[in-house]
Amino acid sequence: MKKIAVTGGKGGTGKSTVSVLLAKKLMASQKVLLADLDTECPNDHLLTGISLEKPIKETLSKLPEIDTAKCQKCGECVKSCTSNALFMPPGKTPIVLPDLCSACQTCLDVCPHQAITAKDNVTGKIYRHDFGKNLILVTGQARARLIETASVVRQTKETALEIGRKEKVDTIIFDTAAGTHCPVVVAIMGVEKAIAVTEPTPMGAHDLDLILQLLEKIEVPCDIFLNQADLGKKDLITDLVKKFGKQKLSHEIKHSTKLAKAYSRGDLLNDPEVNLQYDGKI
């Protein structure tokens, strides 16, 4: 099973569009699984015209629970919490702010009085939709207001990989969130290749620079797709591509009203005139 991540740094450059169109292209000749790992605002289901109905699974995080009888109010847990999810009112047992907790469980380890235990807490939902025999969409959706979503991404990815193995999928595409933070790193780790989607704007270049640095660090080779390639300032991107030792852009997608309309109708899979023109190796 081949694993590909579609990423790019900046939001709104066309990651989901490329993911869906890539899945559409590949599903003509093989079995594909598209995993929407942008769990804070998944939208591959919108682009493919379906709605998220019954979840197949819930994602869980172990959140700390403090035993007031055992707690000596030393504050060690509060000091250890880099997410600022613990707060100690003076002279009282610390309180847990679940929206901020990343479930790292460091507080459990540092508590000198073993007063903290971990308790399962629902952090999100995982959905599955089959489009005929050759395309499965797996979507992760984090609970509203949750700040630390990396574990929702991790669990959605594990579920997608499990389904992929069971269903004998040939290629799995991970559609990542924007950014270069933990939820994106978790989505990309372990893939054979990434596709970085960007746009010819200063912000597109700035964020592409960051994602290319990240990909270099975690040693994931990548192709660069430039969306809206005939608008804006292409030099911003081609200069950057050279800085990272690449000869040229892997693919250019020109502005297309037809594509934009199919996108807005949730018709990317069905519209026969909208396709990814990329001929390179995936």
Partner 1 sequence: MEKVIITAQGDSLDSELDPHFGRCKFILVCNPETKELEKAITNVNATAQGGAGVSTAQTVADMGISKIITGNIGPKAYEALTASGVEIYVAEPGKVSDALEKFGNGELKKVDDASAPMHTGLGMKKSE
Residues making contact with partner 1 (CB under 8 A)? 78, 83-85, 87-90, 92, 95, 97, 99-100, 145, 147-148
What single-letter amino acid sits at 153?
V
Nearer to partner 1, 92 or 265 (CB): 92
Q: Cα–Cα distance between 267 and 127 in angstroms, integer?
A: 20
Nearer to partner 1, 105 or 238 (CB): 105
Nearer to partner 1, 94 or 200 (CB): 94
CB of 150 to partner 1, least distance (A): 12
Nearer to partner 1, 28 or 144 (CB): 144
Q: Are 20 and 129 in contact (CB under 8 A)?
A: no
DSSP letter at 51 equals: -
CB of 183 to partner 1, least distance (A): 13
Nearer to partner 1, 141 or 149 (CB): 149
Residue that the structure tokens 């200069």 belong to: 239
Q: Cα–Cα distance between 100 and 272 in angstroms, integer?
A: 44
Q: Cα–Cα distance between 178 and 211 in angstroms, integer?
A: 10
Distances (CA, A) of 39 to 143, 151, 217, 253: 9, 10, 24, 26
CB of 256 to partner 1, least distance (A): 33
